[in-house]
Structures are given as structure tokens and as C-alpha cells.
Structure 1
Amino acid sequence: MVFTLAIVGRPNVGKSTLFNRLVGKKLALVDDTPGVTRDRRGGEGRIADLEFLLIDTAGLEEGDVGSLSERMKAQTAQALKEADIALMLYDARAGVTPMDEHFAAWLRRTETPVILAANKCEGKIASVGFYEAYALGLGEPVALSAEHGDGLADLYQVLVETLKEIGIDPYEGENDDSSKDNQKNLDTGPVEGDMDYEFIDPDAKEAQIRPLRLAIVGRPNAGKSTLINQLIGEDRMITGPEAGLTRDSISVDWEWDGLPVKLFDTAGMRKRARVSEKLEKLSVADALRAIQFAEVVVLLLDAELGIERQDLKIAEHVVSEGRALIIALNKWDIVENRLDVSRALKDVLTRSLPQLKGVKFLHFSALTGKGLQNLMPMVAEANELWNARISTSVFNRWLADAMEKHPAPSVSGKRIKIRYGAQIKTRPPTFALFCNRPEGLPDSYIRYLENELRRDFDLPGVPIRILMKKGQNPYESRRKKHR
């Protein structure tokens, strides 16, 4: 990205709608409720051949020192410092309001060049409001419709002109082929061979060229935003005593010990019965999507409250999505009966999450950072286990031993024969077992194999999937061919 563009303006003028339009995805939550966006969000924007880093910001509002409005304005001020150009959006249908005038005066005092844009210009009713904007002293406005995509050609021209005025070449590095990663010819086919066949997982290869995706989830007010701020060493997320400050999932690019990481801060997830407002439903859905696209998920608990049923439901969802899970107890510095809390957590996890036997957990204070040094090594280890591969020959020797210790049961007087097995996928480790009657194999025996596999190959706390297939060994003919 050659330059950075920050979208600013008062609440409910369409900033997030324009952000989604320019990045080409519905990344930011959009609702008629004013003030949906609170933290600043980054993305890669594009208009035709013009590419840039885009920042969506909270609605500008005045507030007392220490208030939520004042904290949101501080986030916008930081976005302006990082941006090369600011795009001030106002609602042409509503016309210029005193709040628009106030913040236009604030923007004129900043060093960042400002482009004025009149949004919601798709109807005649917006014409009066469009001409009112000249009084803001920010030059001629650009007429836009973020919802319908109108006016982007005009915005393109104004952006190019402004960039030239401030000495930035908008097309710098356009023909630099060295910056492009050519991943089109990934070898995803099987390797010819016998029982030592090693599969090639295209998802795992793709993961090697992208950051580790780490999502922080939990109930409201567990300290998720505070944790991310402590990790990256800056006040990137709005924090405070109010529950539910984060409304949509915000991603932050970071690097830990040379490892690129994309952190996802998510909205707090309450019990479904308590979620009634549309906006909160959208926030929870956004958090669930963050889990879906993450690789490692940290479930953050309030150590004073301990683990509750809602936390277990979140953990079960992480497991069902096949993500690596770490459980973290926050606010450990204010807990008095620490031994009792740790024992209670272990007991609940053992009873309620048997499918994640050995899941790792730790405790720290996100506010002070004490104990936090153990989190990322644990995340890296969980990600490594999540990508674990077991060769086919080793897996089948293990399978033969496991079946010898505990043979598969007979069903209706007929013996179930597991002929062969292989790992077919990583992320999470997934295995296929080929047998004569897969539908008759009881779940208890599959759980036995899963527990043995987890213990013998040291895969604690990682979701393991075992799929039953009917048929002969698919590599038998290949093995005979090589004899």
C-alpha cells in the first residue's frame, strides 16, 4: 500500500458502509444505530487501479475527559496521525449540522490533508445539503453514495490530485514483480509411493505465507481489548469499565519474536437468551466468524467469576470449528483463593470438555502484564500441534497396536475390521479409517482411538477428527506395483 486513507466524520453518516465498499468485503458492522464503530479498523482499499490502506474510525463526538466519547475521539486522532489523507464524510440528506462544523474546524487544525465527501447523494433531496458543505472551509465536496457505489470515479480523481500535491506517487511499485508471491502452482497431489505416502495439505502450505491468526474471545468485560493493548504495547483498542465496548471484530497486525500475527479482538458473547438487540446479534455473529477464520483461539475468563456455562459453550464452539484452544484466566492479580480457582477450573474442564483432554490454560493480569510472557509461547506450541503430521506408516503401526490392546467390538455377531488408516488433513489433525462396516463402529471406540492418539503422539488440547470410510486400502494397488 502506497498511502493511507482515514475515513472520519460524525456518527451515522455512512463511514463503515463506505469502508466496506472500498475494501470490497463486509468487514465492518453496519446498522442504523449511531456509534456502531468504536475502535479504528484497518483494511486494504481499492478504487480501480488505486490501492491504499484504509482506516475506518468511530463517529466524532465531544465528551468529558475520561468518557467513552473522548476515548473514541482519541482513537480517531491517532488514525489521523497515521493517515496521509483524511476523508471527512457527512450526510448530504441531513445537511451540514453544528457537529459537522465543529469537527471540520478541528480537522482544519490538523496537518493531515482533508478531502470532503457528501454521502447519500443518490436522491434530489441531497442537493441542498451538498451545497451547504462549502461553508465548512474544506473545499469542494465529492458527491458519493457509499451504499450504491456512486461517485467513486470522482473520489479517485480527487485522491490522485491530492497525493500529487503532497508528493506521493500513487502508482509507486506497480510493476515490481518481486513483491508478488506466485503461489498458483502449489503441488497438492499425492506423492507416488507405498505405505510411506505423505500427503500434502494445501491449507498448511498457504499458512506458511500468511500471519498466524489469533482470536481473543470470551464474555463481556473479561478484558479482551486490554489484553490486545498489552500485547502490542499501545492503546489500540478502547477499554474501560463499561461492558460491551467492542462491537465488531477488529484485526491488528503484530509481530512476536519474528512471527507475524494477526490478532482479532471480538465482542463479548453473552447467553443467547439475553441477546435481544439486533446490533448485539450482529456483534456475536461477527465474533463467531472470527473464530471460524482463526487458527488459535484464546478463551479469556474473568478469574474472579471463574468458568461458567457460557464459557463452556464458547469452548465447545471453538472445538466444533476445529480450532486450537487455549484457556486464559485474566485479572489473576486480584484473586485471593488462587489454588481453589485453579482446581475448580481443572475439574470443570475434565468433566465438561473431555474431547479436549489436556487443553492448556494459564493465568495473568492483562492490565499489568504480569504472567503474560507465557501466553505467546503457548499459542505457538498450540499452533504447531494443530499443524501436526503423522506419516502413514507410523500411523498404521500405531493403529495395529491400539487395536491389539483393545479390538473393535462385534456388532450383531459380525466383527468390524479396520483395515487401514491415514492422516488426510492438518489444521486440525484429521484421520480417515477404512473398515468393512463404518456405520456399525460405536462412538465409544472412536473416542478410545482419539484418546490413545492424543496420548501416544502428545497432542494435548488439540481437536482431533476421525472419519470412518468404507472400502479397501486405496494404496494397496500402488504398494503392490512398487514391490
Structure 2
Amino acid sequence: MSTPTIAIVGRPNVGKSTIFNRLSGERIAIVEDIPGITRDRIYAEGSWLDKKFNVIDTGGIELSDAPFMAQIRFQAEVAIEEANVIIMLTDSQSGVTNDDQMIASLLKKTKKPIILAVNKVDNPERRMDIYDFYQLGLGEPFPISGSHGIGLGDLLDAVFAALPKEDDETDNDDRIAFSLIGRPNVGKSSLVNELLGQNRVIVSDIAGTTRDAIDTDFETPDGDKFKIIDTAGIRKRGKIRETTEKYSVLRAKRAIEKSDVVLIVLNAEEGIQEQDKKVAGLAHEEGKGVVIVVNKWDTLEKDNHTMKNFEEDIRTNFQYLKYAPIVYVSAVSGQRVKMILPLITQIANNRKKRVKSSVLNEVVQDAVATNPGPTDKGRRLKIFYMSQVAINPPTFVVFVNDIELMHFSYERFLENQLRQAFDFVGTPLKVITRERT
């Protein structure tokens, strides 16, 4: 299940940033008693009763023509479009205002679940003030206090109860889901079109369960079934470039969660940027298969060292992705694009691979024989046995005599031995050390 996204929407100075900081558990949004200080959407992660969510802070919407109001309204609309559930925040001290009425009217048109919260209910006497807010037509108002943290548990219970139910079809799905992640202008759309163009058997276009993106199912002539997870979803209007830059990490995170394999698409002309490393790290942490795709390779002037130098640059910047294969392609000419789908299939199979314990421990014994465990103060690490406990990604537990003796470098050595023996190209591995009792 993908992580739900909550947008906090309301007029200026009702305490949106304070609530945002409470829900995310961090002081990320600037909190000052000045209307309109949050001009751009900011997002963070939070959790409630072991359930994770993304939360978006928005600029305040109002009727006036104050500076930046058009941009703030647009930013809030984009946040509303991306959200699964919307918290409309109001202020008990001000009562229902014309701006509240306007925002409520705007939110009703979205057809998304809306939870009405009345902030600054700091004491029991103020609870009587919430009944006026029924006139907004958004159902029961939840009294909360951002400054004191009152009522947020009830609010989050209501938010999770209102989340749309996701289809469970993916549990029994034999399609391999993959996404293309990268900054604007790296050529993701062209690459998708080329992948679909080479395999013209498009099965269906299915609207995403949680947002307006389109996930495309297709089948190759050989009968391999795939689903491309779309990372678009923001309408191309207005000042979209700035918005896309600021919001692309959250959209990428959503796509990664739904994918089996992630294509990290780089622009050969521009090289590696900081944002590339951020989204690649998300794919690795989620345990997804990874292919690094260097697009626009045909536009570079090359010599005998160009590819080698580019690979060294990638391996230096993405040290945690040493297992990820690199493909140098051109979406425009189709150069090497046909290599991508077989790689995706191989990696998806590797993520599901299981190794028999007997075979696994033969490899471990050979590894220990060539490179004995480290020692500390006269004690040597002893490895008793290893067992695979999970797939997607493959996860192994190694039982030892003393967990303190298992250095990170030796854990990495064992991982490399597993990769060499069982061909785990493209997928991360998890090696967990346990002390045998």
C-alpha cells in the first residue's frame, strides 16, 4: 500500500504550519504570527499508530489581492490535487469568515475526503465555538489546539478512516511494475513512448487508485507483462516548472512505493545532480530493484574513455547502488532501449529469488575459509549459519557468536559473496546479524 498524503488547507494565520509541525514531529515550517508567511507547499513524513503518511503545508488562501496570493492559491490547488485526504483548518477565535466559505466551496468540488478541524480550541470553554462551523457543510468539526497538541489523535483517526480503500489486485498481479524517476528534462516521457512503441500491444490505461496519474499496462510480443507507474499527475498549466521541481521528490516517492523496479533516469548532457541522488536513495531504502539509465547518450561527443569516465562518476556518487546495472541509451534514436525490459524482468526475478539453506551455507563456509572473520581482543567472529527469511528484497539472517565482532566491512564482504554466487544483479540485499543464544 502506498503512503497516503494529507494536505492542510485554510486561510492565512489559522495555524496550518503549527499543525504541520505537530503531525510531522519536526519544526520544518516557519511559524510566525504573520498572515501569508508560507508561500510554497512544504511536505514531510509523519506516522500515527505505526501508519506512515505524507503531510503537505500550504500557503493560506484568501479573497484579497495581497502580494503572492495568485501563486499561493495555485500552490494550494496543486497540493489539493496531490492529496488523498484534505484537512481544512479554521480558527475558533475568528469564527467562520468569507474566506472559509470560499475555501469550503472550493474543496467540495474536489470530491476528495475533507476533514474539518477548528484550531485554537485551547480550553473547554472554547469548545462551544465549534458549532458555528457546521454551516460550512463539511460535516463534524474536530476541535484541536496546535499550540498545545490537543485533539490531534482524534483528528488523525478521522483522517485514516476517510482514506479511500486501495485495490488489493497487485497482491496477485503477475505484471512487473516499474517507474521512471528523474528530474525534469531528462527524457522520461520520450523513454516511455519508445518503450511502448517497441511493444505496441498496449493492454489498458488504468487510472491510478490514489491520484490522477495514469498507470499503463502493456504486454510484449513474447508475453511478458508490465505496468509503467506514471509519475506525472500535475496538469501543465501556469508556472509549472517551479512547482514540479519542488514537488517531484514526493511524486517520485509515491511511484517508487508502487514499483518492483525503478529506472533512475539521468541526462548525459547534464551529468549527476543532487536531486538524482535523493530519489535514488529513496529507491534503495525501499528495497526496490534499480537500473540506472543514462539518456541522451547520442548527444555527447565521445572518445574511448567517455563511458568508463561516466560510469566511474556514477559509482562514486551512488556508492550504495553498486548492484545497479547502467544502460546508456537514446530515447530519440532508440539506441539500446531494447535492453531495458529484459533487465527489468531479470531484476524483478532476482528480488523474488530464494536460496536453499544448504546451498547458502556452503557459500558462507567457503567465504569464511578464504577470509576468516575479524578479531577483537583475542576473540574471533564465528559464523554458525545463515538463513534466508524474506524476498522483495532478498533478506538473510546470519547467526554469530558475538554481534559486536561483525564489522560493517565483513557484512559487506558476505553480501558480495552472495551476489557472486547467486546473481543478485539489480536488487539490494539485506543481511541481518543475530547472536545465537
TM class by smaller structure: 0.5 to 0.7
Matches within 5 A, 1:151-190: none
Q: Does 1:211 align with 2:180?
A: no
Q: Paired residue for 2:376?
A: 411
Aligned pair partner of 1:466 in 414, 431, 434: 431
**Matched residues in 2 for 1:429 and 1:459: separation?**
9
Corresponding letter in the other structure for 2:284: V
Q: Does 1:226 align with 2:190?
A: yes
User: Helix, strand or coil: the match of 1:400?
Assistant: helix
Contact kept in structure 1, 2:75 and 2:243, CA below 8 Å:
no
Aligned pair partner of 2:405 in 430, 437, 440: 440
**Matched residues in 2 for 1:418 and 1:428: separation?**
23
Corresponding letter in the other structure for 2:378: G
Aligned pair partner of 2:392 in 427, 433, 438: 427
Corresponding letter in the other structure for 2:385: Y
The structure number with the bigger radius of gyration is 1
In structure 2, relative to structure 1, the CA distance for the partners of 1:287 and 1:353 (3 Å cut) is closer
Corresponding letter in the other structure for 2:338: Q
**Matched residues in 1 for 2:110 and 2:378: separation?**
77
Deviates more, 1:393-402 or 1:283-292: 283-292
Q: Percent identity?
A: 31
Corresponding letter in the other structure for 1:465: K
**Matched residues in 1 for 2:278 and 2:112: separation?**
41
Contact kept in structure 1, 2:216 and 2:230, CA below 8 Å:
no
Aligned pair partner of 2:268 in 303, 312, 320: 303
| CA positional deviation for 1:249 | 8.4
User: Helix, strand or coil: the match of 1:399?
Assistant: helix
Q: Paired residue for 2:74?
A: 34
Aligned pair partner of 1:255 in 218, 238, 243: 218
Corresponding letter in the other structure for 2:195: L
**Matched residues in 2 for 1:318 and 1:208: separation?**
22
Matches within 5 A, 1:58-207: 120=106, 147=114
In structure 2, relative to structure 1, the CA distance for the partners of 1:346 and 1:37 (3 Å cut) is farther
| CA positional deviation for 1:456 | 1.9
User: Helix, strand or coil: the match of 2:74?
Assistant: coil
Q: Paired residue for 1:109?
A: none
**Matched residues in 2 for 1:33 and 1:439: separation?**
55
Corresponding letter in the other structure for 2:196: I
User: Helix, strand or coil: the match of 2:291?
Assistant: strand
User: Helix, strand or coil: the match of 1:453?
Assistant: helix
**Matched residues in 2 for 1:361 and 1:121: separation?**
45
| CA positional deviation for 1:454 | 1.0
| CA positional deviation for 1:36 | 8.3
Contact kept in structure 1, 2:374 and 2:405, CA below 8 Å:
no
**Matched residues in 2 for 1:145 and 1:434: separation?**
49
Aligned pair partner of 1:356 in 302, 318, 321: 321
RMSD: 4.4
**Matched residues in 1 for 2:258 and 2:370: separation?**
39
Aligned length: 290
| CA positional deviation for 1:151 | 9.7
Q: Does 1:325 align with 2:290?
A: yes
Residues 67-89 of structure 1 show CA distances to partners (whole Å, capped at 9, x for unaligned) of: xxxxxxxxxxxxxxxxxxxxxxx
Q: Paired residue for 1:89?
A: none
In structure 2, relative to structure 1, the CA distance for the partners of 1:396 and 1:328 (3 Å cut) is same
| CA positional deviation for 1:211 | 2.8
**Matched residues in 1 for 2:373 and 2:245: separation?**
48
**Matched residues in 2 for 1:395 and 1:411: separation?**
27
User: Helix, strand or coil: the match of 1:252?
Assistant: strand
In structure 2, relative to structure 1, the CA distance for the partners of 1:278 and 1:350 (3 Å cut) is closer
Q: Paired residue for 1:378?
A: 343
Question: What stretches of structure 2 of length at least 5 have no aligned partner?
Answer: 1-52, 59-71, 83-100, 117-135, 139-166, 203-210, 234-240
**Matched residues in 1 for 2:228 and 2:389: separation?**
29
Residues 337-362 of structure 1 show CA distances to partners (whole Å, capped at 9, x for unaligned) of: 16543112221234344443352111
User: Helix, strand or coil: the match of 2:344?
Assistant: helix
In structure 2, relative to structure 1, the CA distance for the partners of 1:144 and 1:454 (3 Å cut) is closer
Contact kept in structure 2, 1:119 and 1:143, CA below 8 Å:
no
Deviates more, 1:333-342 or 1:408-417: 333-342
- TM-score, normalised to structure 2's length? 0.55
In structure 2, relative to structure 1, the CA distance for the partners of 1:467 and 1:361 (3 Å cut) is same
Q: Paired residue for 1:334?
A: 299
